[in-house]
């Protein structure tokens, strides 16, 4: 039996793994070195919700590529099952799955990543790992088996994390359609009285906008 481990934590390095995929043997995170990638697990091949998810991920594959972000799936199925399922999707739904799918038939990878819920048998939960170019886990999202994911949210999360890194800002709820600041980004809170004073002076000069010294925002092109 494989040892079930707890899930990795945000901010930790993604575990070094050698995996069998529909595109051959891959090494994670090394094969995505220098770029973002999203690893997502699904409960099983040839199941209704998982099929809708694979089609949805593929429909957004170009959006992920534009963000220099790879995709890779995973379930506790043999590679033969993955290959046949991908073929079925192509033949019956006219959607060609371009990203690799990990065949974790003995559950070792799933145990390493904490993807097996004890109350759900040996199937993996619907997990999402967003990993940055340095191989660091930046976000994780877990869904129950009965709930399919919102792929637009995953695209949004990757894009928002990239903008946050590039501009040293935080991203508001529902960005870019926040109810308070619209498409603006949040300036990290002041860490000293001097920072707070400078923040308010910048607001007076029109460089940024503030509701108060601790809640300031700006447009990306400023």
Domains of the chain in start order, with CATH, are 17-149 (3.40.30.10), 168-222 (3.30.1020.10)
User: CA-CA distance, 11 to 220, in Å (whole number)?
Assistant: 25
Copy the structure tokens of residue 45.
Answer: 């091949």
Which of the following is catalytic: 50, 69, 210, 216? 50
Residue with tokens 């690799």: 100
Rounded-to-integer distance, Cα 33 and Cα 10, Å: 18
pLDDT, position 1: 43
pLDDT 10s digits, 57-102: 999 999 999 999 999 999 999 999 999 999 999 999 999 999 999 9
Distance of CA 145 to the CA centre of its chain: 18
- pLDDT value for 2: 47
pLDDT value, residue 121: 63
Q: What is the pLDDT of residue 120?
A: 62
| CA 155 to chain CA mean position, Å | 8
**pLDDT, position 119:** 67
Residues in the chain, overall count: 222
Q: How far apart are CA 205 and CA 218, in angstroms?
A: 13
Please determine, for residue 203, whether its predicted confidence score (pLDDT) is greater than 90: no
Query: Average pLDDT over the chain, rounded to whole?
Result: 92
> For this structure, is 216 an active site residue?
no
Say whether 69 sits in a helix, a strand or coil.
strand
Q: Output the pTM of the full model.
A: 0.92
Tokens 């209704």 locate to 48
List, for residues 107-135, the tens digit of each pLDDT value: 889 988 988 877 666 678 899 999 999 99
d(CA 135, CA 71): 14
Kind of pairing, strands 69-75 and 101-103? parallel
User: Where residue 36 falls among pLDDT bands split at 50, 70, 90?
Assistant: very high
Residue 188 near residue 170, CB atoms below 8 Å:
yes
């Amino acid at each position: 039996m494989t040892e079930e481990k707890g899930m990795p934590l945000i901010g930790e390095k993604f575990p070094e793994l050698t995996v069998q995929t529909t595109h051959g043997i891959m090494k994670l995170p090394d094969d995505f070195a220098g770029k973002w990638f999203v690893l997502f697990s699904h409960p099983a091949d040839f199941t209704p919700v998982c099929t809708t998810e694979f089609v949805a991920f593929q429909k957004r594959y170009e959006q992920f590529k534009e963000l220099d972000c790879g995709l890779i799936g995973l379930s506790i199925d043999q590679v033969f099952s993955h290959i046949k399922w991908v073929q079925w999707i192509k033949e019956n739904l006219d959607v060609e799955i371009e990203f690799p799918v990990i065949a974790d038939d003995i559950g070792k990878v799933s145990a390493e990543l904490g993807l097996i819920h004890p109350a759900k048998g040996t199937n993996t939960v619907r997990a999402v790992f967003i990993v940055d170019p340095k191989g660091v886990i930046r976000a994780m999202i877990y869904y129950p088996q009965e709930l399919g994911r919102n792929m637009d949210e995953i695209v949004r999360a990757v894009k928002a994390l990239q903008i946050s890194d590039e501009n040293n800002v935080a991203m508001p709820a529902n960005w870019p359609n926040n109810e308070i600041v619209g498409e603006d980004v949040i300036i990290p809170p002041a860490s000293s009285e001097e920072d707070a004073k400078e923040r308010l002076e910048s607001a007076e000069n029109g460089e940024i906008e503030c509701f108060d010294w601790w809640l300031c925002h700006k447009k990306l092109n400023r």
